[in-house]
């Protein structure tokens, strides 16, 4: 589940896995959506606790109506706007003791000026405030949103927001249709259009007003990979478009967001934004209650009776199985999480005698 926020985002139930689908080129909508839903589950699992550094340039353009003398016609006049460059950590966090996930942005630099200690902030989120992680992450999201340009507070400018619309529990809210094949994006990439039909809507406007989501996905029909997503919001107060492109990252075995383009108009102000993503790294809590992107050194001991060198395996979590896109994969290799609840010792070397 992705909890709701203002002009907000929210959805539920991302970890759904399917197997036994035959490969091959197809333009069948149900098959494409099933594969995409399976892929989104793996995306969320693998992207959890991956921190991306976001560079986000925002610009505003103000348009005012003027009466042209002699013509009697109202025309728009464009005036100067503002520019702001934000640097943030973007992160998808699994909430404690839950199957829910929270994507959030934590701004650490505004126009070249540091506004906080980035590493200490993440440590507090994961360690010191573990029990209240939801409230802490939402507080950070709201705090970071105040740096956005424009006269509309918003948190929907999130690169992976549209991925939630492909999860299994959200699909019943939408009508999907197959548009066309886009060979410029890949040999078997299809454009799937979506439109939210149920109320209340996932994204909310001012005073809780429903704003139905619609848009397009560029999906690889063979694997379900989402190469590009486009979200459009249109109501009397705001017109917004958010487009995200993805690129394969071999370290995480998924397509990570690399660019998000934002455009919205509200009250005569147009905001243009371009965010790029890089420096992807995984942050995990270790047994000594530190936070970092490296694995702690193993603790070795010698067994007095056998003389074997044993290495302590600490409690933690790891992914067992293989991604659905791996060649030769069978259904028994379903990707799933394994939790080691207490430490144990393992021989450092193979037993040879």
DSSP letter string over 8-63? ---B------------S----HHHHHHHHHHHHHHHHHHHTTEEEEEEEEEEEEEE
CB 165 within 8 A of CB 192: no
Indicate if 134 and 243 belong to the same structural domain. yes
Indicate if 199 and 308 belong to the same structural domain. no
Rounded mean pLDDT, 126-133? 55
- The answer on pLDDT for 67 being more than 80 is no
**Looking at per-residue confidence, does 250 or 192 come out higher?**
192
Rounded mean pLDDT, 120-145? 67
Indicate if 171 and 61 belong to the same structural domain. yes
Indicate if 70 and 110 belong to the same structural domain. yes
- What is the widest separation between alpha-carbon atoms in the chain? 103
Residue 345: per-residue pLDDT: 83
DSSP 8-state symbol, 126: I
**pLDDT (tens digit, 9 = 90+) per residue, 202-251?**
888 877 889 999 999 999 999 999 999 999 998 877 789 999 999 999 88
Indicate if 236 and 154 belong to the same structural domain. yes
Indicate if 237 and 138 belong to the same structural domain. yes
Residue 305: per-residue pLDDT: 78
Residue 139: per-residue pLDDT: 77
**Looking at per-residue confidence, does 299 or 212 come out higher?**
212
Is residue 200 reached through a cis peptide bond, with omega within 30 degrees of 0 on the bond before it? yes
Query: What confidence category does residue 17 fall into, taking pLDDT thresholds of 50, 70 and 90?
Result: very low
Q: Does 11 map to a domain?
A: no
Indicate if 171 and 198 belong to the same structural domain. yes
User: According to the per-residue pLDDT averaged within each range, which of 78-87, 226-235, 312-321 is highest?
Assistant: 226-235
CB 310 within 8 A of CB 300: yes
Indicate if 152 and 184 belong to the same structural domain. yes
Rounded mean pLDDT, 245-266? 92
Residue 13: per-residue pLDDT: 29
Which is nearest to 162 in space by CA: 51, 9, 275? 9
Q: Does 146 map to a domain?
A: yes
Contacts of 180 (CB under 8 A, 6+ apart): 190, 191
Average pLDDT, the chain: 77
Strand-pairing partners, residue 229, are 217, 244
User: Exposed, middle or buried by CB within 10 Å (0-12, 13-18, 19+), for 262?
Assistant: buried
List the structure tokens of 80: 């100067």
Query: What confidence category does residue 338 fall into, taking pLDDT thresholds of 50, 70 and 90?
Result: confident
Query: What confidence category does residue 4 fall into, taking pLDDT thresholds of 50, 70 and 90?
Result: very low
Indicate if 48 and 123 belong to the same structural domain. yes
- The answer on pLDDT for 88 being more than 90 is yes
Residue 12: per-residue pLDDT: 30
Which of 257, 285, 313 lies at the terminal end of a domain, its last residue?
285
Q: Does 205 map to a domain?
A: yes
Which of 285, 316, 334 lies at the terminal end of a domain, its last residue?
285
- The answer on pLDDT for 289 being more than 60 is no
Q: What is the DSSP string of 153-203?
A: --S---TTGGGGGGSTTTGGGEEEEEEEE-TTT-TTEEEEEEEE-SSS-SS
Round to whole Å and give the CA distance between 231 and 167.
Answer: 15
List the single range of 24-33, 243-252, 284-293 with lowest mean pLDDT.
284-293
DSSP 8-state symbol, 145: H
Round to whole Å and give the CA distance between 217 and 222.
Answer: 15
Residue 5: per-residue pLDDT: 37
Residue 1: per-residue pLDDT: 39
Indicate if 188 and 224 belong to the same structural domain. yes
Residue 79: per-residue pLDDT: 58
Residue 92: per-residue pLDDT: 85
DSSP 8-state symbol, 263: E
Query: What confidence category does residue 77 fall into, taking pLDDT thresholds of 50, 70 and 90?
Result: low
Query: What confidence category does residue 353 fall into, taking pLDDT thresholds of 50, 70 and 90?
Result: low
Rounded mean pLDDT, 305-325? 75
Which is nearest to 164 in space by CA: 218, 96, 213? 213
Q: Does 12 map to a domain?
A: no
Indicate if 281 and 303 belong to the same structural domain. no
**Looking at per-residue confidence, does 226 or 138 come out higher?**
226
Q: Does 227 map to a domain?
A: yes
- Pairing outcome for strands 300-302 and 344-347: unpaired
**Looking at per-residue confidence, does 268 or 88 come out higher?**
88
Round to whole Å and give the CA distance between 346 and 353.
Answer: 16
Q: Does 8 map to a domain?
A: no
Indicate if 211 and 330 belong to the same structural domain. no
Domain that holds residue 333: 297-347
Residue 29: per-residue pLDDT: 94
Query: What confidence category does residue 122 fall into, taking pLDDT thresholds of 50, 70 and 90?
Result: low
CB 69 within 8 A of CB 45: no
Residues of the chain with pLDDT > 70, as a percent, come to 69
Q: Please report where in the chains the tokens 């809507």 appear, as a residue.
A: 201
Which of 285, 310, 328 lies at the terminal end of a domain, its last residue?
285
Contacts of 32 (CB under 8 A, 6+ apart): 26, 178, 190, 192, 219, 221, 224
Q: Does 23 map to a domain?
A: no
Rounded mean pLDDT, 179-192? 94
Residue 324: per-residue pLDDT: 62
Phi and psi, residue 196, nearest 5°? -75, 130
List the structure tokens of 290: 């530190």
Total structural domains within the chain: 2
**Looking at per-residue confidence, does 349 or 183 come out higher?**
183
């Amino acid at each position: 589940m992705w909890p709701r926020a203002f002009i907000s985002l929210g959805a539920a139930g991302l970890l759904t896995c399917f197997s036994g689908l035959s490969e091959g080129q197809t333009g069948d909508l149900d098959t494409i959506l099933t594969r995409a839903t399976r892929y989104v589950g793996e995306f969320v699992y693998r992207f959890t606790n991956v921190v991306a550094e976001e560079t986000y340039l925002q610009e505003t353009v103000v348009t005012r109506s003027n009466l042209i003398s002699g013509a009697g016609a109202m025309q728009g006049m464009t005036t100067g706007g503002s520019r702001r460059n934000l640097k943030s950590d973007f992160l998808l966090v699994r909430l404690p003791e839950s199957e829910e996930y929270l994507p959030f942005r934590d701004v650490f630099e505004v126009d070249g000026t540091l506004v906080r200690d980035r590493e200490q902030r993440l440590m507090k989120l994961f360690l010191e405030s573990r029990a209240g992680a939801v409230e802490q992450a939402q507080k950070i999201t709201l705090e970071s949103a105040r740096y956005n340009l424009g006269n509309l507070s918003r948190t929907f400018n999130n690169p992976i927001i549209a991925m939630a619309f492909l999860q299994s529990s959200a699909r019943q809210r939408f009508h999907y249709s197959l548009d066309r094949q886009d060979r410029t994006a890949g040999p078997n990439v299809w454009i799937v259009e979506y439109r939210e039909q149920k109320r209340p809507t996932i994204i909310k406007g001012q005073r809780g007003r429903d704003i139905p989501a619609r848009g397009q996905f560029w999906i690889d029909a063979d694997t379900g990979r989402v190469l590009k997503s486009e979200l459009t919001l249109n109501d009397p107060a705001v017109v917004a478009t958010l487009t995200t492109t993805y690129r394969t990252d071999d370290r995480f075995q998924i397509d990570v967001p690399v660019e998000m383009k934002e455009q919205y108009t509200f009250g005569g102000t147009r905001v243009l934004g371009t965010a790029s993503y890089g420096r992807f790294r995984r942050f995990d809590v270790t047994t000594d209650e530190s936070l970092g992107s490296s694995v702690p050194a193993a603790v070795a001991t010698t067994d007095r009776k056998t003389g074997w060198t044993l290495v302590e395996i600490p409690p933690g979590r790891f992914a067992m199985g293989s991604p659905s896109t791996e060649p030769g994969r069978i259904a028994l290799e379903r990707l799933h999480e394994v939790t080691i609840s207490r430490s144990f010792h393992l021989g450092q070397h193979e037993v040879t005698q």
